[in-house]
Chains A and B, each alone.
Chain A
Amino acid sequence: MEDKQVRDESLAVEENLDNQEMDNQELDDQKLDDQLDSLIEEAVLETESQKPRQKMRLESFKRGAYHEQGWLFVLPAVLLMCVFTFYPIINTFVSAFKVGYKPLDSAYELKWGFENFVRVLRGDTGTGGANFARCFWNTLAFTFISVPVSTLLALLISVALNSIKVLQKAYQTIFFLPYLTNALAMGAVFATLFNVVGTGNTVETVGLINVLLGRTADNYINWINLGSDIWANRFVVIIYEIWSGLPFKILILFSALQNVNKQYYDAAKVDGASKSTILWKITVPLISPMLSYLLITGIMGGMKVYTAVVGLFGESMGQEYEVGTMVGYLYNYIEKGETGYAAAGSLILFGIIMIITLINLYVSKKRVHY
């Protein structure tokens, strides 16, 4: 109670300070206005015209000058955003509707239409690039398997972490370390773990994962090498995504758990709740805002997977883009100079992420307790 009072008081003090600052600013404004007024008056005297209309125009100029000053202050930010955010967005929309547009093709004849979208969705871009439908399903598989699984794992790990006393800090550090590692480096390590060196009778090693699974040169699983199954490939990416997603999720959930009032657990214990009831009926709802945040950002991030696949399968994302992702698709067509397809693909990706996020928000409104 007292704490709150103190906080309120300090808030009040801050507010006062704010007011004072505002007062100061108002004073400054007043000064500025006065200066402008005198300047304008001089100007008016100089032109020797005292028509009311002209005066009005000057008034509006005065107001405009004030606003222009404001714009001046934010100009660096606005310029940067125009160059790196607004122009690209607008240009993407424009290029997406320019049929067959290649920026480097000087003989290009401008033609508007939806043909880019149709060709992207049908998969007949006629350039031998990545296939949109395949990239789309890959991305969905990666996202909707890896995000829930890694969130659940993160939840269980952070609950376990929260309930131990000894070495808690040490484990916390260990779990957070992958967060600091470069994505491509991790991809290379994963590729090594799953890699099979040599073929047929000359297999030198089947890779650590196969060894751990008890597989030998006779019955090894081909995870990522030539002729491997798409689901084996996807499995590797999903494992990678789960593992690389854990640190951040554990960090967030662990701190959320530390903020849960211990008294709820005591109350639940007295009420005869079992450990699992406490976890699912008390803990999870209490940290559900954080869980929903992780799911939403996790799914958004999952839809944009690219580096993992490049790290594991190289820039061709498999032999012929078969492990490609939607963002991989965009880069692929930008590389080929087919800006029109890339733009159309990115708009489709934008639409998909938006729909999924809206569904997420709708669901979380019903399920999350703030």
Chain B
Amino acid sequence: MRISIENLTKIFPSRHKAGENVTAVNDMCIEIPSGKLVGLLGPSGCGKSTTLFMLSGLEKPTSGHIIFEDEDVTTLAPEKRGIGLVFQNYALYPHMTVEQNIMFPLVNMRLPKEEARQRALEAAELVQIEELLTRKPSELSGGQQQRVAIARALVKMPNVLLLDEPLSNLDARLRLQTREEIKRIQRATGITTVFVTHDQEEAMSICDQMVVMKLGVVQQMGEPQEIYDNPNNLFVANFLGTPPINIFKGKVENGGIYIGDEKVGETNVGDQEVFIGIRPEGFIYDPMGALTVNVQNVEVMGRDKTVVSTHPSSTKPTIRSIIDSDIKLPKDALQLKFNIKPNKLFLFNAETEERIYDGR
């Protein structure tokens, strides 16, 4: 099911008469292709969950339209939209067994009991919890509860599956496992899936498409790798990637990109003050390199090593550069020199923080 979101806006009125209204989602326009796994990504308070709840019908938009395929569902009640929703803390009914929980949507559809039970079993098999059907939610681990919640959302065969922060209540190991699981279930069912997360790694690892949001405004949408390689603005560049991108204050002068007095690259944009973003993997160690940094320490990770350093023009306290573990660095060096890979270097307007694209 293709989902079109057109000029969607949600304004929460303030509780006090004099207070300001809060715009949670501001004029959002995106198109979610059918059968894809799409992640809504952003820091907390960026309106991603509000968007999800508007898709589910639990929140009413202030203005704008939500269109499923060709049908405008903006004012349609949640149960009529054919959606499955998995809540952040699962919201499993504590007084029902796992089976009753999964069957609940079917019972409401007045399906015959035998058929409902059969379908509940199939959904349970899909998420691999068929041996837990007689248990109560309180007798399950967090990961198992998560699976039950997904089974309950899937059992009515929805056209759209919505997941609100599906991994935030799981421990680190289970999180890795469950995100693979979500990907597998999505592939197996082919249901258009939208999920919300604040964890960019999580979104990058399983999404087909990713929507980066900030303060209710969509910053960029596209495939994870493409957004990573071509961030639209400083916020997106900063938000994606671990360790995060290094940002320097610099300038463009006569086709040269300068950090301080050192020329780290070339461009054909006009002379101006800029923010220069360099990905940690964009540094090449070279004794004759362009950029000189003051080394703080070197973290050896086995696979690669990270040089933690400082630079007067950096907007962050430290710079992180990841280099291959084979490369020999001079011992106890106070300063190191790097060349910068041109495709890992981005220029941003110093005022608007928008990306300045190279004309080439």
A2 to B146, CA, bound (A): 21
Whether A270 contacts B89 in the complex (CB less than 8 A), given A285-B95, A286-B94, A369-B95, comes out as no
Q: Mark A279-320, 1 if CB is under 8 A from B, else 0.
A: 001100110100000000000000000000000000000000
Which of B79, B84, B93, B109 is in CB contact (< 8 Å) with A269?
Answer: B79
10 A-B pairs within 8 Å (CB atoms) are namely A264-B91, A266-B85, A269-B78, A270-B83, A272-B108, A273-B79, A273-B104, A273-B108, A274-B108, A285-B95
- A277 interface contact, C-beta 8 A: yes
Q: Mark A82-98, 1 if CB is under 8 A from B, else 0.
A: 00000000000000000
Which of B77, B87, B156 is in CB contact (< 8 Å) with A267?
Answer: B87
- B174 interface contact, C-beta 8 A: no
A272 to B85, CA, bound (A): 12
Which residues of A lie under 8 Å from residue B85 when comparing CB positions? Answer: 266-267, 270
Which of B58, B83, B95, B108 is in CB contact (< 8 Å) with A286?
Answer: B95
Which residues of B lie under 8 Å from residue A271 when comparing CB positions? Answer: 79, 104-105, 108, 152, 156
- Name the residue in A261, A267, A273 with the highest tally of chain B Cβ atoms < 10 Å from its Cβ: A267
Question: A281: shortest Cβ distance to chain B, in Å?
Answer: 8
A266 to B164, CA, bound (A): 13
Enumerate the 4 nearest inter-chain pairs by beta-carbon distance, A residue then B residue, closest first.
A272-B79, A369-B95, A285-B95, A267-B91
Q: State whether A266 touches B104 (Cβ < 8 A).
A: no
Q: State whether B58 touches A266 (Cβ < 8 A).
A: yes
Question: A307: shortest Cβ distance to chain B, in Å?
Answer: 38
- State the total of A-B contacts with C-beta under 8 angstroms: 53
- Apart from A267-B85, A271-B79, 14 more pairs, CB < 8 Å: A263-B87, A263-B89, A264-B91, A266-B58, A267-B87, A267-B93, A268-B93, A270-B57, A270-B83, A272-B108, A273-B104, A285-B93, A285-B95, A369-B95
A264 to B89, CA, bound (A): 10
Q: State whether B109 touches A282 (Cβ < 8 A).
A: no
Question: B267: shortest Cβ distance to chain A, in Å?
Answer: 45
Q: State whether B79 touches A270 (Cβ < 8 A).
A: yes
- B56 interface contact, C-beta 8 A: yes
A288 to B58, CA, bound (A): 26
Q: State whether A270 touches B58 (Cβ < 8 A).
A: yes
Q: State whether A277 touches B93 (Cβ < 8 A).
A: no
A264 to B96, CA, bound (A): 12
A34 to B104, CA, bound (A): 69
Question: B95: shortest Cβ distance to chain A, in Å?
Answer: 4
A264 to B109, CA, bound (A): 18
Which residues of B lie under 8 Å from residue A288 when comparing CB positions? Answer: 95
Question: B34: shortest Cβ distance to chain A, in Å?
Answer: 21
Q: Mark B66-82, 1 if CB is under 8 A from A, else 0.
A: 00000000000111000
Q: State whether A266 touches B87 (Cβ < 8 A).
A: yes
Whether A277 contacts B91 in the complex (CB less than 8 A), given A266-B58, A270-B58, A272-B79, comes out as no
A276 to B89, CA, bound (A): 25
Q: State whether B108 touches A269 (Cβ < 8 A).
A: no
Question: B115: shortest Cβ distance to chain A, in Å?
Answer: 16
Q: State whether A270 touches B95 (Cβ < 8 A).
A: no
Which residues of A lie under 8 Å from residue B93 when comparing CB positions? Answer: 264, 267-268, 282, 285
Question: B254: shortest Cβ distance to chain A, in Å?
Answer: 52
Q: State whether B89 touches A369 (Cβ < 8 A).
A: no
Question: B72: shortest Cβ distance to chain A, in Å?
Answer: 19
Which residues of B lie under 8 Å from residue A267 when comparing CB positions? Answer: 85, 87, 91, 93
Which residues of B lie under 8 Å from residue A285 when comparing CB positions? Answer: 93, 95
Which residues of B lie under 8 Å from residue A273 when comparing CB positions? Answer: 79, 104, 108
Q: State whether B78 touches A270 (Cβ < 8 A).
A: yes
Q: Mark A340-370, 1 if CB is under 8 A from B, else 0.
A: 0000000000000000000000000000010
Q: State whether A270 touches B56 (Cβ < 8 A).
A: yes
A252 to B65, CA, bound (A): 43
Q: State whether B108 touches A261 (Cβ < 8 A).
A: no
The chain A residue with its CB closest to the CB of B109 is A272
Question: A341: shortest Cβ distance to chain B, in Å?
Answer: 47
The chain A residue with its CB closest to the CB of B153 is A270
A12 to B220, CA, bound (A): 46
Which residues of B lie under 8 Å from residue A270 when comparing CB positions? Answer: 56-58, 78-79, 83-85
A369 to B85, CA, bound (A): 25
A274 to B108, CA, bound (A): 8
Give residues 129-155 of B contacting A (CB, 8 Å).
Answer: 152
A285 to B104, CA, bound (A): 14
A273 to B77, CA, bound (A): 12
A182 to B208, CA, bound (A): 69
Question: A207: shortest Cβ distance to chain B, in Å?
Answer: 46
Q: State whether A263 touches B91 (Cβ < 8 A).
A: yes
Q: Mark B311-333, 1 if CB is under 8 A from A, else 0.
A: 00000000000000000000000
Question: A188: shortest Cβ distance to chain B, in Å?
Answer: 44
Question: A278: shortest Cβ distance to chain B, in Å?
Answer: 10
Which residues of B lie under 8 Å from residue A266 when comparing CB positions? Answer: 58, 85, 87, 91
A282 to B58, CA, bound (A): 18
Which residues of B lie under 8 Å from residue A264 when comparing CB positions? Answer: 91, 93
Which residues of B lie under 8 Å from residue A277 when comparing CB positions? Answer: 108
The chain B residue with its CB closest to the CB of A261 is B91
